[in-house]
Homo-oligomer: A and B are copies of this chain.
Amino acid sequence: MSFALNGRPGVSEATRERILRIAKEMNWRPHSAARALGGARADAVGLVVARPVETIGVEPFFGQLLAGLQAELSAKSIALHLMVVEDTAAEIEVYRRWVSEHRVDAFVVVDLQVKDPRIAVLEELQVPSLILGGPGRHGGLTSVWADDRKAMLSVVEYLAALGHRRIAHLAGMPAFHHTARRMRALRDHAKRLELIDAVSIPTDYSDAQGAAATRTLLARSPRPTAIIYDSDVMAVAGLAVAAEMGVSVPDELSIVSFEDSVLTRIVHPPITALVRDTFALARQAARSVLAAIEDPGSARDLETATPILTVRGSTSPPPGDAIHETV
Interface residues of A (CB under 8 A from B): 1, 4-5, 8, 11, 15, 18-19, 22-23, 26-34, 44, 53-60, 62-68, 70-71, 73-74, 77, 79-85, 94, 97-98, 103, 207, 233, 236-237, 239-240, 243, 261-263, 265-268, 278-279
Contact = CB atoms under 8 A, between A and B. Distances in A.
B28 A34 contact: yes
**Candidate in A1, A11, A268 with the most chain B CB atoms within 10 angstroms:** A268
When all copies of this chain in the complex are counted, the total is 2
Contacts of A19: 18-19, 22
A contact face: mostly helix, strand, loop, or mixed: helix
A207 B19 CA distance: 61
Given A28-B30, A34-B27, A66 B79 contact: no
Contacts of A70: 53, 56, 82-84
A66 B58 contact: no
B63 A67 contact: no
B53 A57 contact: no
Contacts of A68: 53, 57
A85 B62 CA distance: 18
**Candidate in A26, A83, A265 with the most chain B CB atoms within 10 angstroms:** A26
